[in-house]
Amino acid sequence: MAINWYKYASPASFYTLAGKMVPFFTILAIGLLTIGLYIGFFVAPTDFQQGEAYRIIFIHVPAAWMSMFLYVVMACWAGIGLAFNTRLSSMMATAIAPTGAMFTFLALWTGSLWGKPMWGTWWVWDARLTSELILLFLYIGFMSLQAAIDDPRRADKAGAIIALVGVINIPIIYFSVQWWNTLHQGASVSVNQAPTMASVMLTGMMVMVLASWMYSIAVILKRVRIIILERESHTAWVAELRKKGAL
């Protein structure tokens, strides 16, 4: 391929590239969200045991998946930053954390609102729910540690350590419903078996999952651009941008 990928490892060129990508992913996110919500509320039928309450699934599952996936991506970037001392990778990790934390909170919140009518309780200390709560604390710990350290390079390193240690929690969340007796049911969609959902419901859920991917990409790129500017404020290329009025 003729694209020089190394070029985009530098914050300056990535800043421009990300700027071009944000509107694209924003439009995709809005489009998919509209389709997903339409399917979720108007096409997908009532569930045979949970009635209309199951419609919470269209945000609960995407939020829960994103919360785990974003954590892994964040830990990867943080790890790369730690190992190769690349500035941009650490900035990516920092940019992902707030969005990941938001999705974790949403997974817990919607789960609680779903658990009350269906299970009969807002919250139980079973393995799935507890490990997801720990994920929220890991995100918060990562963000507050980074915020507490003034020197960005040191903040990156300290954050990377938390992020990498916390990765152990991801398989625990994912497999908790198989490893232990939990109140939370098993997975409806998994790699090694056919989904246990009617296809319209599944389609709606998957469109919502795609929408949250696009949303996350758009928001994270937007945030990483700000972080790049904040951290590179002393450099010539930022001064150049400022002169052009293209900040």
CA separation (Å) from 181 to 130, 186, 243?
A: 13, 10, 62
Looking at the Cβ atoms of 79 and 115, the one nearer to another protein is 115
Which candidate, 167, 163, 191, places its Cα nearest to that of 178?
A: 191
Q: Is 16 in the site for another protein (CB under 8 A)?
A: no
Q: Is 1 in the site for another protein (CB under 8 A)?
A: no
Looking at the Cβ atoms of 60 and 78, the one nearer to another protein is 60
- Restricted to residues 166-185, the positions that interact with another protein (CB under 8 A) are 176, 179-183, 185
Residue 165, token pair as written in the block: 């240690």
- Restricted to residues 32-51, the positions that interact with another protein (CB under 8 A) are 41-42, 44-51
Instruction: Measure the CA–CA gap between 236 and 246, rounded to whole angstroms.
Output: 14
Residue 212, token pair as written in the block: 């949250």
Interface stretch with another protein, choices 5-13, 67-75, 79-87, 119-127 (CB under 8 A): 119-127
Q: Is 121 in the site for another protein (CB under 8 A)?
A: yes
Q: Tell me how far, at minimum, the Cβ of 2 lies from another protein, in Å.
A: 27
Q: What is the DSSP string of 11-67?
A: HHHHHHHHHHHHHHHHHHHHHHHHHHHHIIIIISPPBTTTBGGGGGHHHHHHHHHHH
Contact code string over 182-221 relative to another protein, x by CB under 8 A: xx-xxxx-------xxx--x-------------x---x--
Instruction: Measure the CA–CA gap between 33 and 135, rounded to whole angstroms.
Output: 26
Q: Tell me how far, at minimum, the Cβ of 84 lies from another protein, in Å.
A: 26
Residues that contact another protein, how many (by CB under 8 A): 84
